[in-house]
């Protein structure tokens, strides 16, 4: 049942604006996904958060405009607003966003090649030099230790022999 004509028409157009807003909100999530390539868990969290926000916006729209009564034209207005935005404004926004994201990624790649790659190469060279010098020293120290100490099995064997010999001497003296 329709109420006063002006109020219902205004509610319908406000619902269309809300639908456009929800579509633009979803475009924000699409841009984030385009830039970051999220894993499944992150995508799931983004979807759930969008649906919760969309449900809250729709609920408050119905609460304010229709005193909490679910009206078919409110839901239809949101749907039509979202579809119109998706077919027009959203395509433009996503095309511009793709271009901006490609440009930013190209700039970051260029900065990486010009600045960070030489630094990475220098660090690799320093690491190799460090490993050669200290590797040589560690090898010398380990060889020295090997010469000074007996292998573990000989040490254990000698302990057992000394123990048994000392017990035999004690038995002979008793």
Distance separating alpha carbons of residues 12 and 73, to the nearest angstrom: 6
Residue with tokens 């460090």: 130
Backbone angles phi, psi at 94, to 5 degrees: -70, -35
Tell me what pLDDT residue 1 has.
46
- Is the pTM for the entire model greater than 0.85? no
Distance separating alpha carbons of residues 78 and 11, to the nearest angstrom: 10
Ranges under pLDDT 70 in the chain: 1-6, 144, 146-174
Q: Coil, helix or strand for 67?
A: coil
Closest among 69, 84, 67 to 18, alpha carbons compared: 84
Tell me what pLDDT residue 9 has.
86
Tell me what pLDDT residue 97 has.
93
């Amino acid at each position: 049942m329709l109420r006063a004509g002006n109020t219902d028409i205004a509610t319908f157009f406000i619902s269309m604006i809300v639908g456009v807003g929800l579509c633009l909100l979803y475009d924000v999530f699409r841009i984030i996904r385009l830039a970051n390539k999220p894993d499944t868990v992150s995508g799931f969290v983004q979807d759930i958060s969008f649906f919760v926000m969309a449900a809250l916006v729709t609920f408050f729209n119905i609460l304010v405009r229709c005193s909490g009564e679910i009206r078919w034209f409110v839901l239809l207005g949101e749907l039509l607003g979202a579809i119109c935005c998706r077919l027009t404004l959203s395509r433009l926004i996503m095309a511009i966003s793709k271009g901006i994201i490609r440009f930013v990624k190209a700039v970051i790649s260029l900065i990486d090649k010009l600045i960070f790659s030489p630094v990475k190469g220098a660090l690799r060279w320093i690491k190799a030099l460090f490993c050669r010098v200290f590797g040589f020293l560690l090898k010398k120290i380990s060889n020295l230790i090997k010469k000074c100490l007996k292998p573990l099995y000989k040490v254990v064997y000698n302990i057992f022999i000394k123990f048994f010999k000392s017990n035999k001497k004690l038995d002979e003296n008793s």
